[in-house]
Structure 1
């Protein structure tokens, strides 16, 4: 499974990615790939995405991102509190629920 976190520069979400990876390992989900990158790169990566989560700072771009994704996978915005508190386990849970449909 590929979970992509999209933000302005890809920097601020890198810490969250690390926490999500730790949470995935604890759940025995070693095959889960979690990456962060800027929204400009999404069109190059969309074909391999299973879930796309936007950083709350670019929540205004959710409709544009959905157009880029074109229904290939779920798209949602990371909860501002979970993002701010770097709750990797909560964000991972959200991604897993979204992937289940």
Structure 2
């Protein structure tokens, strides 16, 4: 499963990625999880299953959906509370639920 988090290149999203990777590893789930700036998203879509949008860039949702949904990639805005509390397990659950 390939998950991309879209952010404004902030450090907090990188911290969340690390927590999501740890949660995936603990579950025995094979997952590629990375954070990219919105400007780099189109260059990183190959093989992507889910794109999660950071709450701080939620204003880009319409643009991102127009880019990824025609490719069959599921997308949603990261739950703001889970993001703020850096709950990697909850955000990973969000991504898994989208893929189903």
TM bin, normalised by shorter chain, reads: over 0.9
SS at match of 1:96: helix
Q: Is the 8 A contact 1:17 1:34 kept in 2?
A: yes
The TM-score, its normalising length taken from structure 2, stands at 0.93
CA distance in 1, matches of 2:38, 2:49: 16
| Runs of 4 or more above 4 Å deviation | none
Relative to structure 1, the CA distance from residue 10 to residue 33 in structure 2 (aligned partners, 3 Å threshold; closer, same or farther) is: farther
Q: Tell me which residue corresponds to 2:46.
A: 47
CA distance in 1, matches of 2:92, 2:10: 17
CA distance in 1, matches of 2:20, 2:69: 25
Gap runs ≥5 in structure 1: none
The TM-score, its normalising length taken from structure 1, stands at 0.93
Aligned 1:14-93 pairs, distance under 5 A: 14-29=14-29, 31-71=30-70, 72-93=72-93
Q: Is the 8 A contact 1:17 1:88 kept in 2?
A: yes
